Amino acid sequence: MLKFPKDFQLGASFSAMQTEGKGTTKIGKLTMDTYFEEHRELFYQQVGPELTSDIMNHYVDDIAKFKEIGLDSIRTGFSWARLFPDGVNVNLEAVSYYHKFIQEFKKNNIKLYMTMFHFDMPMWAHELGAWASREVIDKFVSYCEFVFQEFGDEVDYYVTFNEPLVTVFEGYTGVMHYPAINDPKQAVQQGYGIFLAHAKVVKAFRKFKLQAPIGVVYNWNFTHPYSQSEADVKAARIYDAYVNRGPLNIMVSGTIDPVLVETLKEFNVLPKYSKQELEVIKETKVDFLGINYYFPCRVQATPNKQARWVLETMKIAIPPTAKINPHRGWEIYPEGLYEIAMAIKTELNNIPWYIAENGMGVENEAQYRGADGIINDTYRIDYLNDHLTQVKKGLDEGSNCFGYHLWTALDCWSFRNTYKNRYGLIEVNLADQSRKLKQSAYWYQSLINNKAK
């Protein structure tokens, strides 16, 4: 079995919206609530975001299970809409809940990463223009400042955004997130607003002089050209500037890729910005980086004279020989984690980083239940072992990687997929909200126990 250093964190992730549901305190309406109300038929088995995994009623027992497995750390987050349901007035019941929630992790000696925004846009903020609105950005900064002041060093690690551009691509050029429109110009403006919000929050954080570090969690689906043709190599370079290294560098160190600027100008989709805002963005420096990795992006050029922006001149293609997760249609390529480790070492000054999400979603897991009632998810164990082997290889070659969080600690609700594909170490029974460890949880427990003493 793999052996990691004693201080290497082996843990798991989930999010507020995907586990809290409506919860036990007042919460403002989210864009995902509106999406479900308007298009229930688009959600798998019409399961909405109201209940999810009901963690607010189960967190004491859930954290006890995390302790039983031996998890070193957990990443979840605060809900902006729960703490500030109307965007103005603080919800003191929610403040009290989060203090108790955080203290339960401390009692169990589990480090806690808390994310400020994980796809959970309040509806009032969307109606004001979402990240294109400077008013929304200012309100987000105020919410974050409240959290930093109120919770301070009770939290071990702060995270500004999880997968910041997913809501942009899936909401403004795709259909998985609200408002599910296809408008590249709006997408660019929303993306710019997120970069500005992130930079302002990091800057505000420094005023509080906390022991806790602050970082961002980015989904780096490592870019490769589909072939070595000149067109594919060029397309991959541009795609990287928009989807992978480009935004990552903006959020880690305020560095803006000229390819991004040139191609935005070429298609006349530059966002509205000011010189002062750009200066704030360029000053950004985070303390650590979280990387979510599920699959690589192999980019193929696709000439398109009607393209509205440069990303419409390329597509993601999967090689016919690739190993695939049939439940998601995603390529399984563990070597991507080693490639990321080496890129961070050589391109990002070996910044402290960790794998914030990595995991395998499988449909109808009940079919793998054994006579003992436990789901025998050997496919997940194999997936995790293969990816962690690549992490260890990177560590051995000098990568400054300090941990690994699998997605997810317990089965949780997942947007339009709801509970179709499950990722958890812990099974959640939606009928009665009971929990049960899967076989992978016992394997992970052994991995943790096998760390160097």
Catalytic hit among 163, 170, 277, 331? 163
DSSP-derived letter for residue 76 is E
Please, are residues 421 and 414 in contact by the beta-carbon 8 Å criterion? yes
Half-sphere exposure of 354 (CA within 13 A, CB side): 26
Alpha-helical runs (H) found in 152-266: 166-172, 184-205, 230-243, 245-253, 258-266
Q: How far apart are CA 90 and CA 81, in angstroms?
A: 10
Active site residue 230: no
Q: Would you call 395 exposed, middle or buried from its count of C-beta atoms within 10 A (0-12, 13-18, 19+)?
A: middle
Please, are residues 75 and 405 in contact by the beta-carbon 8 Å criterion? yes
Please, are residues 254 and 316 in contact by the beta-carbon 8 Å criterion? no
Catalytic hit among 104, 170, 331, 357? 357
* Strand ranges in 294-400 using DSSP code E only, listed in sequence order: 297-301, 314-316, 324-325, 330-331, 353-357, 362-363
Q: How far apart are CA 200 and CA 23, in angstroms?
A: 30
Q: Residue type for 318, please?
A: I
Active site residue 104: no
Please, are residues 397 and 412 in contact by the beta-carbon 8 Å criterion? no
Residues involved in catalysis: 163, 357
